[in-house]
């Protein structure tokens, strides 16, 4: 990312909107990966599979029933920090969503609304 | 000059779009039961929505973030999820109530069965969303809602004892549970959560930036301020006519009767027409709000401006919400009852809606020079206190008064 430096991870990064290089909204920072000493952010973790770990135990169990268990590459994705272009009011990525495996934006669901007249 | 004209058009739409079925039901009932005594609660609610709409519009314009865009960041994931579930539930109930309201008004206008019009009304809404761009949708319903200015004319025509009316603006605390229930109801009907969800997301739909801040302020203060006069007029018109008779309005048609009393059939038709636009617009607002919240919480692409192809999950969820709303409205429950429940439950969801707005609007790291000043901070926290108290009182009052049934 341009201008590496210190940020308040929880205040500024966690739960933030992610946009791909074309400006499409493609998910949120559902968790972050920290490594090293002192710890540095090494990756953004994205996907509904990560929701349970953000919740208290009972609620987590309920949500896991909907989201399924964590499957890396499926409902849980790792976006290396190098792919982050910029932090503005969103987390902007360097690549298009499909190049990072981010569910191709909303594309898989397009069939549902393809024929609506206000496209 | 053109800029001023554009802002004026926006304000006019805000006036016409101010009322929804919750306001119609609660103000009319409040007038019938307590004559002018609850006018102060109406004013309290109108100022409250103006404060929070201004704040959420300013946050959206400056930081590009509508309410549910920041909710996880400020409440945390768990509380954010609770807020999402609660507000979705309330928005759905509201949507169902508005769809029911459309059907009742159509039933009164065209004298055909209610159930037929729930679906017809929803299909018409989809048609309007398909045909008009975002700004056009808002203006269509906003301008139509101005037909309800007939209520103000009705009040002048009735020429009530203005001393009594003025007295109603002074807060009085009657300790009866029914009175307190209507204080909560009248206040909450003005501050329904979907209004700020929709308003702040609408700012993004229209591509607002710092340059729109003046427009935002005028919309909130002038638009909602004058819109609030409609609420006040509804209380007076109903209090003048129904209170002496001891009538307790239990259906939506009663709302229009004072206007018929004053101006005959013309008055009735204007009132019903205005109500149709108001509840129709609110059905759009509440259904969009439900989809905005879901998409923003989960990070999906969203917005009417994107079109279904670019925001498929958002659009599909909107259609699903609309279907669920139809199902609830068709369930046979009286829409006035659905309305009461949607308003009272919304009070419980209010703190979770307004706290993140308040926190982010005061946060200089997001808002820089546009963060809340002294007035907005004071009013914001003052209202937050009121909201928390009412949220705690809402459900007990609902149970004790049997939903206003006494």
Contacts of B371 (CB under 8 A, 6+ apart): B361, B362, B363, B364
Q: Closest Cα to residue B180, out of B385, B394, B399?
A: B394
pTM: 0.95
For residue B228, count other CB atoms closer than 10 A to its CB: 22
Tokens for A6, please give them.
Answer: 């210190």
Q: Would you call A55 and B129 a contact, using CB atoms and an 8 Å cutoff?
A: no
Q: Would you call A105 and B301 a contact, using CB atoms and an 8 Å cutoff?
A: yes
Q: What percent of chain A has pLDDT above 70?
A: 95
Question: Is residue A57 within 8 angstroms of chain B, CB to CB?
Answer: no
Tokens for B89, please give them.
Answer: 């539930």
pLDDT of res. B58:
96
CB-nearest to B299 from A27, A54, A63 is: A27
Please check whether residue B362 is in contact with residue B372, taking contact to mean a CB–CB distance below 8 angstroms.
Answer: yes
Q: Which residues of chain A does B301 touch, with a Cβ-Cβ cutoff of 8 Å?
A: 24-26, 105-106
Report the complex ipTM: 0.93
Q: Which residues of chain A does B319 touch, with a Cβ-Cβ cutoff of 8 Å?
A: 113
B357-372 tens-digit pLDDT: 999 999 888 898 999 9
Average pLDDT of chain B to the nearest whole number? 93
C-alpha span between B88 and B194 (Å, rounded): 9
C-alpha span between B230 and B28 (Å, rounded): 11
The shortest C-alpha distance from B236 to chain A (Å) reads 42
B145-181 tens-digit pLDDT: 999 999 999 999 999 999 999 999 999 887 799 999 9
What is the set of domains in chain A, with CATH numbers? 9-112 (2.30.30.240)
pLDDT of res. B154:
98
Q: Would you call B310 and A15 a contact, using CB atoms and an 8 Å cutoff?
A: no
Question: Is residue A107 within 8 angstroms of chain B, CB to CB?
Answer: yes
C-alpha span between B120 and B70 (Å, rounded): 36
Mean pLDDT value across residues B284-293: 97
B64-90 tens-digit pLDDT: 889 899 889 888 899 999 999 999 999
For B21, B177, B295, B322, the CA distances from B88, given in Å and listed in that order, are 18, 28, 12, 12
Residues 11-40 of A with CB under 8 A from B: 11-12, 14-18, 24-28, 30
Q: Would you call B65 and A18 a contact, using CB atoms and an 8 Å cutoff?
A: no
**Minimum Cα–Cα distance from A63: chain B residue:** B81
Q: B118 vs A104, which has greater pLDDT? A: B118
Name the residue ranges covered by the structural domains of chain B: 2-400
Q: Closest Cα to residue B280, out of B19, B27, B28?
A: B19
Q: Closest Cα to residue B207, out of B313, B64, B67, B316?
A: B64
- The CATH class, in words, for B2-400 is mainly alpha
Judge whether residue B287 has pLDDT over 80: yes
Q: Would you call B308 and A17 a contact, using CB atoms and an 8 Å cutoff?
A: no
Q: Would you call B316 and A109 a contact, using CB atoms and an 8 Å cutoff?
A: yes
Q: What percent of chain B has pLDDT above 90?
A: 82
Contacts of B177 (CB under 8 A, 6+ apart): B397, B400, B401
Judge whether residue A7 has pLDDT over 80: no
∠B20-B21-B23 over CA atoms, to 5°?
A: 70
Q: Closest Cα to residue B23, out of B281, B245, B399?
A: B281
Q: Would you call B309 and A110 a contact, using CB atoms and an 8 Å cutoff?
A: yes
């Amino acid at each position: 990312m341009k201008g590496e430096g210190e940020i308040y991870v929880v205040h500024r990064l966690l739960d933030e909107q992610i946009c791909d290089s074309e400006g499409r909204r493609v998910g949120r920072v559902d968790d972050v990966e920290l490594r090293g000493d002192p710890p540095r952010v090494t990756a953004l973790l994205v996907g509904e599979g990560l929701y349970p770990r953000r919740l208290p135990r009972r609620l987590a169990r309920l949500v896991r029933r909907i989201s399924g268990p964590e499957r890396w590459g499926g409902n849980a994705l790792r976006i290396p920090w190098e792919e982050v272009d910029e932090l503005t009011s969103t987390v902007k990525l360097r690549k298009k969503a499909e190049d990072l495996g981010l569910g191709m934006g909303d594309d898989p669901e397009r069939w549902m609304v393809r024929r609506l007249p206000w496209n | 000059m053109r800029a001023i004209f554009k802002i004026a058009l926006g304000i006019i739409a805000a006036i016409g779009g101010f009322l929804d079925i919750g306001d119609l039901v609660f103000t009319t009932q409040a007038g019938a039961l307590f004559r002018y005594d609850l006018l102060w609660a109406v004013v309290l609610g109108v100022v409250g929505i103006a404060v929070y709409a201004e704040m959420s519009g300013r946050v959206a314009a400056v930081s590009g973030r509508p309410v549910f865009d920041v909710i996880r960041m400020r409440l945390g994931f768990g509380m954010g999820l609770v807020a999402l579930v609660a507000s979705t539930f309330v928005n759905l109930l509201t949507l169902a109530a508005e769809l029911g309201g459309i059907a009742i008004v159509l039933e009164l206008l065209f004298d055909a069965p209610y159930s037929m019009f729930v679906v017809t009304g929803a299909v018409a809404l989809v048609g309007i969303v398909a045909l008009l761009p975002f700004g056009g949708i808002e203006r269509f319903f906003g301008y139509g809602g101005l037909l309800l200015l007939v209520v103000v004319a009705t009040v002048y025509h009735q020429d009530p004892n203005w001393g009594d009316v003025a007295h109603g603006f002074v807060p009085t605390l009657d300790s009866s549970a029914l009175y307190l229930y209507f204080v909560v109801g009248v206040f909450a009907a003005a501050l329904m959560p979907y209004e700020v969800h929709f308003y702040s997301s609408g700012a993004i739909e229209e591509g607002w930036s710092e340059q729109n801040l003046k427009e935002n302020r005028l919309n909130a203060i002038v638009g909602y301020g004058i819109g609030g006069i409609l609420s006040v007029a509804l209380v007076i018109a109903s209090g003048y006519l129904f209170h002496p008779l001891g009538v307790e309005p239990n259906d939506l048609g009663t709302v229009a009767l004072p206007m018929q009393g004053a101006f005959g059939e013309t008055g009735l038709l204007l009132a019903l027409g205005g109500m149709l636009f108001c509840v129709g617009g609110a059905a759009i607002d509440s259904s969009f709000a439900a989809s905005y919240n879901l998409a923003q919480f989960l990070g999906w692409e969203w917005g009417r401006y994107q079109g279904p192809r670019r925001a498929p999950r958002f659009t599909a969820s909107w259609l699903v919400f609309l279907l669920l709303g139809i199902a609830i409205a068709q369930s046979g429950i009286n829409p006035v009852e659905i309305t009461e429940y949607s308003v009272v439950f919304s009070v419980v969801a209010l703190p979770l809606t307004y706290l993140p707005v308040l926190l982010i609007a005061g946060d200089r790291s997001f808002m820089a020079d546009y963060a809340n000043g002294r007035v907005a901070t004071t009013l914001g926290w003052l209202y937050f206190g009121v909201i928390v108290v009412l949220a705690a009182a809402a459900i007990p009052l609902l149970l004790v008064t049997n939903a206003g049934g006494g």
